[in-house]
């Protein structure tokens, strides 16, 4: 396990020594702690988790001005670690950064995995959630926001405390800017450019994202879509065993096969 601050702005953890590297990108505010249960995948793959600028242990930094800028941060991190190609996995609005990275750097993207992903904020419930995040981070409501998000994600009191404490490390203004930029972000018209293997994972009970799978199906016909029964949006922490099995199976039986076909 290694910890570092490349360019003075990114905290990361890189574990495992597998042939493939999975990069996990967290939602605004949550930091890499939300992928606590995915670190077990280091038994099969190299696993890279990191805190976006202004988040977690990368907090207190100048906020990014665009989703592309956050994608460029990841490119710099992979270059620093001499990782030529990786499987990019984004959760919730971390998926927007994952999408943007795959669009900007397709040669460095071995596969794109989105957990509760969306290409734009266009539904009433998701719009409301983003407006609430913008309002709370912009008006001194970090404590309230961190408690609510931690409570919704935690499977037990211990994990709730870990997530809440980690989120409070973040820079409120940085989160405010990140909520704003993701709220106005759209990749829908460019989704057809994603030629690499794509996996979309949703909870069957996720009422915020019901209309988005159809958009992906239309724009990326080769994308695979998996639904986890009786799961909501908080898949990495509430359905970790199911998620880890799906990720491992897709990488070993689809991404690896695709790579061999192109050799």
Per DSSP, helices labelled H in the chain are 67-80, 94-104, 124-138, 142-153, 157-167, 172-183, 212-219, 235-238, 240-250, 256-261
Q: What is the pLDDT of residue 5?
A: 47
Predicted TM-score (pTM) of this structure: 0.94
Please state, in angstroms and as integers, the Cα–Cα distance from residue 229 to each residue in 80, 225, 252, following that order: 39, 13, 22
Q: How many CB atoms lie within 10 A of CB 45?
A: 21
Contact 27, 16 (CB under 8 A): no
Contact (CB, 8 A) for 249 and 228: no
Smallest Cα–Cα separation from 236: which of 17, 49, 7, 2? 49
CA angle (24 as vertex; 103, 163 as ends), nearest 5? 135
The tens place of each residue's pLDDT in the chain, 263 residues long, gives: 334 544 457 899 999 988 899 999 999 999 999 999 999 999 999 999 999 998 999 866 777 789 999 999 999 999 999 999 999 999 999 999 999 999 999 999 999 999 999 999 999 999 999 999 999 998 899 999 999 999 999 999 999 999 999 999 998 998 999 999 999 999 999 999 999 999 999 999 998 899 999 999 999 999 999 999 999 999 999 999 999 999 999 999 877 666 555 55
* Residue 248: CA count within 13 A, CB half-sphere: 15
């Amino acid at each position: 396990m290694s910890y570092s601050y490349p360019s003075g702005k990114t905290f990361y953890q890189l574990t495992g020594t597998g042939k493939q590297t999975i990069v996990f990108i967290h939602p605004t505010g949550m930091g890499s702690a939300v992928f606590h249960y995915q670190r077990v995948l280091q038994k099969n793959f190299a696993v890279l988790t990191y805190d976006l600028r202004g988040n977690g242990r990368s907090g207190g930094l100048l906020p990014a001005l665009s989703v592309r800028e956050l994608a460029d941060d990841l490119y710099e991190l992979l270059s620093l670690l001499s990782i030529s190609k990786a499987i990019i996995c984004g959760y919730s609005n971390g998926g927007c950064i994952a999408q943007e990275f795959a669009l900007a750097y397709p040669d460095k993207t071995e596969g794109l995995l989105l957990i509760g992903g969306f290409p734009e904020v266009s539904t009433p419930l998701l719009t409301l959630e983003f407006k609430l995040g913008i309002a709370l981070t912009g008006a001194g409501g970090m404590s309230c926001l961190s408690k609510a998000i931690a409570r919704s994600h935690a499977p037990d009191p211990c994990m709730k405390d870990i997530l809440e404490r980690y989120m409070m490390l973040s820079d409120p203004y940085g989160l405010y800017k990140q909520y704003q930029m993701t709220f106005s972000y759209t990749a829908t018209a460019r989704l057809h450019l994603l030629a690499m293997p794509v996996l979309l994972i949703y909870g069957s009970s996720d009422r915020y994202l019901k209309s988005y799978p159809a958009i992906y199906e239309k724009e990326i016909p080769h994308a695979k879509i998996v639904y986890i029964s009786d799961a909501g949006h908080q898949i990495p922490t509430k359905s970790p065993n199911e998620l880890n099995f799906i990720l491992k199976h897709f990488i070993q039986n689809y991404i690896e096969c695709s790579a061999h076909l192109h050799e």
